[in-house]
């Protein structure tokens, strides 16, 4: 057929007009080389599943912020205690029932004089190991110099001051005398330059750290306790999630892979556990396990490092782990079984089997990588639910025991005095909520990033 250019609107093109409307060059109708053709095609870089998932997770602002905040919480819980001078167990006798950012009387005294001193050591402030400096030799290293001194008897209720540019840099001041920064020197001190061999080192406090969250009725710093509690809660959450992950995924995988009678029996067991109202059993378990566990700790902690580690955690926490190992893996098992069953039917698994791949290879190369998404998501979302359960048990007085603290037990303690000191509840509750919230959001983000169903 001839190529003609008849007039038909709107597709009409006049042959003469081609030259006018289009920019036609001399060599335009010679064939293009394959390089020229390729240069026109922009190829997407191929990226791996994890790169792709990470890219999508990064694009999710909410999840990224949540991840950042959760990392802050981790910092708060694990590294935070290094930055504050208080510990979770120490009871600061003069500093009971303080509100947020309040100072005890003795701390106030120290604060009132700290302008004139470079550093100080308040003997009466800290009822811990260094409470009363007894007679003996001490040294302080400060500003590149070593100040060594011998403490005479009876200087317990004193404040040790360090004034670098003073002819007598090291001074002992009576606590009673200090009023509005004016104080009299107390001379029960002998000052030398070189420390004696058995001299103990004293750490000077450079400034008084406020009780940011206040203190409780026993004079314990609530921020230190919240940090510690957050640490305990996070550890419990992660450990419990790992226990659930291991038991649930192995159980689910076996059930899904074996199929048949094995699957039937295993799934009936899962259904049974599923229909038991777990909290009732958990409560009973908690009470039941406490004393046998303590007896077990006492008997074996000397010989076994594992038991020692467990006993450090305490019976309450270990029985929470046991509870999770007994009751809470069923959801994970169901998810993994479903995933395995679904994957078993996939054509590529059939193809691999047809090509003679061994079962181990199929599990390693096909099933495992495809299960990792749901595994990661479920584990991540298991952590907050474990933290929830722990705090619930601690709230009922069954979880961790004093002087250890978890966020749940802190809330529970605070509840007794809630009408007088509401902030004691507020701080641990906020930290608990933030941890659970951010973990939920991170989990959601992971699901969006890893779930191939949403992938376009």
Q: Segment 418-447, which members bind other proteins (CB under 8 A)?
A: 418-419, 422, 425-426, 429, 432-434, 436-437, 440-441
13 binds other proteins (CB under 8 A): yes
Decide if residue 288 touches other proteins (CB under 8 A). yes
Q: Which stretch binds other proteins (CB under 8 A): 118-126, 162-170, 191-199, 412-420?
A: 412-420
What are the residues whose beta carbons fall under 8 Å from the beta carbon of 112, sequence distance 6 or more? 178, 180, 181
Nearer to other proteins, 79 or 272 (CB): 272
Q: Counting contacts by CB under 8 A, is residue 143 touching other proteins? A: no
Nearer to other proteins, 288 or 351 (CB): 288
Considering the complex, state which of residue 45 and residue 105 has its C-beta at the smaller distance from other proteins: 45
Q: Which residue has the tokens 């070593």?
A: 146
Residue 10 as a binder of other proteins (CB under 8 A): the answer is yes
Q: Are 167 and 239 contacting, i.e. CB atoms less than 8 angstroms apart?
A: no
Separation of alpha carbons 315 and 43, rounded Å: 59
Sign of the C-alpha dihedral computed for residues 345, 349, 350 and 351 taken in this order: positive
Q: Which is nearer to other proteins, 17 or 207 (CB)?
A: 17
Cβ closest to other proteins, residue 45 vs residue 153: 45
Q: Does 324 bind other proteins (CB under 8 A)?
A: no
Regarding 360 and contact with other proteins (CB under 8 A), the answer is no
Q: Please report whether residue 261 would count as binding other proteins according to CB under 8 A.
A: no
Three-class DSSP category at 122:
strand
Q: What tokens appear for 178 in the block?
A: 């200090």
CB 323 within 8 Å of CB 286: yes
Label residue 304 left, alpha or beta by phi (over 0 means left) and psi (-120 to 50 means alpha).
beta
- Distance between CA 121 and CA 123 in Å, rounded? 6
User: What are the CA-CA distances from residue 409 to residues 223, 238, 429 (Å)?
Assistant: 14, 18, 10
Spatial CB neighbours of 88, under 8 Å, sequence gap ≥ 6: 81, 220, 221, 224, 225, 227, 228, 229, 403, 404, 405
C-alpha of 18 from chain center:
70
We find the least distance from the C-beta atom of residue 181 to other proteins, in angstroms, to be 39
User: Please, what is the minimum distance in Å from the beta carbon of residue 100 to other proteins?
Assistant: 16
Question: What's 128's DSSP letter?
Answer: S
Task: Evaluate whether 322 touches 285 at the Cβ level (below 8 Å).
Answer: yes
**Which 3 state secondary structure label does DSSP give 43?**
coil
299 in contact with other proteins (CB under 8 A): no
Question: Measured from the CB of residue 29, what is the shortest distance to other proteins in angstroms?
Answer: 4
Position 259 contacts other proteins (CB under 8 A):
no
Helix (H) or strand (E) holding 62: helix 61-74
Do 315 and 285 contact (CB within 8 A), yes or no? no
- The answer to whether 42 contacts other proteins (rule: CB under 8 A) is yes
Report if residue 377 touches other proteins, rule: CB under 8 A: no
Answer for which of 79, 262, 269, 276 binds other proteins (CB under 8 A) is: 276
Residue 321 binds other proteins, judged by CB under 8 A: no
From the list 151-159, 162-170, 287-295, 357-365, the region that binds other proteins by CB under 8 A is 287-295
Among 321, 412, 442, 450, interactor with other proteins by CB under 8 A: 412
Residues 326-345 that bind other proteins (CB under 8 A): 334, 337-338
408 touches other proteins by CB under 8 A:
yes
């Amino acid at each position: 057929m001839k190529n003609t250019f008849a007039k038909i609107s709107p597709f009409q093109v006049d042959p003469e007009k081609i030259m006018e409307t289009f920019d036609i060059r001399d060599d335009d109708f010679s064939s293009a080389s394959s390089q020229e053709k390729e240069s026109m095609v922009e190829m997407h870089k191929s990226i791996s599943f994890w790169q792709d998932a990470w890219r999508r997770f990064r694009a999710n602002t909410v999840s990224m912020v949540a991840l950042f905040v959760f990392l802050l919480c981790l910092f708060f819980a694990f590294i935070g205690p290094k930055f504050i001078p208080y510990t979770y167990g120490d009871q600061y006798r003069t500093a009971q029932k303080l509100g947020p950012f309040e100072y005890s009387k003795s701390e106030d005294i120290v604060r009132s004089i700290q302008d004139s001193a470079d550093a100080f050591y308040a003997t009466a402030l800290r009822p811990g190991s260094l409470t009363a400096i007894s007679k003996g030799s001490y040294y302080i290293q400060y500003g590149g110099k070593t100040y060594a001194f011998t403490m005479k008897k009876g200087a317990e209720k004193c404040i040790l001051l360090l004034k670098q540019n003073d002819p007598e840099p090291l001074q002992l001041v009576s606590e009673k005398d200090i009023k509005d920064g004016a104080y009299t020197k107390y001379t029960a001190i002998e000052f030398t330059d070189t420390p004696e061999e058995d001299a103990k080192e004293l750490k000077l406090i450079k400034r008084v750290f406020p009780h940011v969250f206040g203190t409780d009725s026993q004079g314990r710093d609530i921020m230190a306790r919240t940090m510690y509690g957050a640490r305990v809660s996070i550890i419990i959450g992660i450990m419990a999630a790992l226990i659930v992950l291991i038991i649930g995924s192995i159980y689910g995988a076996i059930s899904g892979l074996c199929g048949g009678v094995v699957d039937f029996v295993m799934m009936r067991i899962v259904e049974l556990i599923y229909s038991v109202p777990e909290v009732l059993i958990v409560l009973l378990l908690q009470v039941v396990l406490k004393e046998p566990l303590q007896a077990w700790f006492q008997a074996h902690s000397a010989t076994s490092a594992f038991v020692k580690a467990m006993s450090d955690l305490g019976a309450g926490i270990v029985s929470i782990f046991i509870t999770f190992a007994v009751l809470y893996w069923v959801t994970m098992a169901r998810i993994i079984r479903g995933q395995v069953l679904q994957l078993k039917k996939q054509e590529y698994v059939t193809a691999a089997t047809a090509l003679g791949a061994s079962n181990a290879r199929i599990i390693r190369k096909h099933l495992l990588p495809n299960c990792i998404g749901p595994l990661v998501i479920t584990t991540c979302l298991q952590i907050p639910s474990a933290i929830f359960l722990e705090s619930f048990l601690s709230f009922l007085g069954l979880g961790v025991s004093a002087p250890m603290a978890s966020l749940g037990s802190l809330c529970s303690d605070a509840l007794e005095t809630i009408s007088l000191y509401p902030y004691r509840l507020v701080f641990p509750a906020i930290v608990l909520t933030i941890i659970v919230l951010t973990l939920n959001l991170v989990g959601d983000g992971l699901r969006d990033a890893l779930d191939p169903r949403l992938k376009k």
